Structure 1
Amino acid sequence: MQKKEIELSKSKDALMDAMKMDKSEIEGLKTQLAEISAARNENSILRTRISELEAELSVLPSADSYRNNVAATEAKISYLEKALTGAQTEAMKLREAVNQANPEAAVREKEMLQQRIVDLEATLRSVIKSREANTKAERFSFAPEECVYLFETLTTTANRLAQSPENRDVYARARDSIAILEKSNAIQRIQTIGETFDGKVHKAARSFKNDFLPDNIIIKEEGPGFVSGTRLIQKAVVWVGKSVFNCTECFNACRPHEYFCPKCGLELTAPDGTSKRDMPQHPTELEPNILLLDKLIDLGNLKAASALIALVSREHPGNAELTKRQTLISSAERTFITSDN
């Protein structure tokens, strides 16, 4: 019995030692598992970071693109440097030209023109004063030669100074002198807007195609024209509206769809020389069309005026000036209908 107890005690001790060893191994395994789990988490974080870095790298230009950008930038810098050098050279030349220019000559010319204007104004005032003092004459008028001389002198002076800011005062006096000629009835302004184009007193600058206005109607004045009595001083520069075309060679009346004269074969053209097939449609600018509209209403051509309002209103809907004139036309049409009934 004693031996068995000893053996059992030894077996028990052996089992206890074995259990202690298993527990230590289990703890070690648990520790290893925790380390493995932490490593996996770190690996997951690293993979995420790697994906982010790869995405950022994909957005960045490639090495070739970078080199191309650098080359393009260097080329631009070289071009700008050359342009700067050229600009500096040009500026130097301009400075030399300004230094070589004689400002005294410009001053003398200005003084001469001013004196010329003063002399002409004095002449005009003297003539107007003598006209007022002459009670026997019902109407005074310049001699045609005097009108032509005065007008051409003033017009030439005004045209030369129109684009000269430093001579703006002289230009204004020249224009005022032309106005004095008009007021004194020494020259008469040629009527344009709404009138029929006449090559004797009008010069066509542009022509437009329309089928709602009278043929050869003047739709805009680009430059004034003047006469003195029956003598032409300067033609008025105008825009013309065309709806009917006649051959300029054989004067044959052509149909609307024809671009060449069926009789002689000549191409149909407008007064300014524009061919019929290249002619633009009626312009829709507001200001000149308002003036033309008022003229049509004064002439009683309400049908053409209504058609013109309809055209311009498409480009300027709700315009107060157009609405006012449309109301006036409608009222006039109702008045005519009532009077007819």
Structure 2
Amino acid sequence: MKTRWSRIPLMFAAAAISLAISVYAFFQHPLFGQHPGGNRLSLVEQSTNYRNGIFHNQTDSPLHTSDSSELSILMDSLVSERGQPRPEGVIPSTKTDLKALDVNEDMVIWLGHSSYFVQLDGKRILLDPVFSENAAPIPMANRAFAGTSIYTAEDMPDIDFLLITHDHYDHLDYPSITALQPKVDQVVTGLGVGTHFEAWGYPTDRISELDWYDAVSLEGLSIYATPARHFSGRTFDRNRSLWVGFALTTDSSRIFFSGDSGYAQHFTEVGNRYGPFNWVALDAGQYDPRWANVHMNPEEAAQAAEDLRAAALTPGHVGRFSLAPHDWNDPFIRITAASKGRSYELWTPTIGSPIHLDGRDQKYAPWWETTN
């Protein structure tokens, strides 16, 4: 009997070691990417936004705005009443053939959540493409809504610029990025994010990393990385790479993507530098008072559109994944109400429907009202 009981500590120790090995092996998967090193780390360290080993927001931005711990927020999200974070029915969509489009026609096509296909000044641009059904490193942890996964990497034409706002899984999707590699000419992203692309097989000379207000240009198109109020990281080690928005300008069009961002003064600064904008896509979903610093609610997005001097606004970070405890259609309902009487038009296309940038009149039906 004594011998049997003496084995129990050994069994627990063996189980703990086995678990530790499994966890270690899991985090060796290439989807987690890598932290900057070598020349890329040297570029990171030269940034005035990088201090004490991490990047910082322009405005003081604690990740949580309550006394709740990250674990308590997670547990509360798992067990508390959350309304209807996922639609019961199928999200409507219109699958435009992207390869058949006239590249000289300026337009934007929302691909769901924060993914966009853009044609501007004869260039094809892809922003934060997530074609996977799951926007998380753990299978089935964050499933896409039914009807929203209508595009794949195979549906994309050759891409002049692949833009990545930051390295969270619902913006930088490993399977999508690796599948797109043969089609992508240049990657443009924030400082430090290029290390992920190098780890995933992209040639160094095809990757441009930008600090806030840096730019790359090709012929008549300029792409500016702009400040955002957010954070980064694909594991528990945060803020080793930079999070950005993007302003894209040509002689005839000016458009803006906020990326994930809380509301702050930078929208006015971006509007003054690069605006007024023909159209903007702003973070207007996945909000909660507990993380109010790093995501906008719809009313804040409405104000940001006016700060940017936008002629038209489309809500982003919506319509495909549920990351916050509000109803899935709450962002659309609230942004519609918040946009009444504003200086801009509200454009709410279905996934796959074109937004034309030639000044034509465009109206979009409130499709979320017919989806349960």
Return the TM-score normalized by structure 1: 0.19
Q: Which structure would you say has the larger RCO, counting Cα contacts within 8 Å and 6 or more residues apart?
A: 2
The structure number with the bigger radius of gyration is: 1
Higher percent of residues as strand: 2
Higher percent of residues as helix: 1
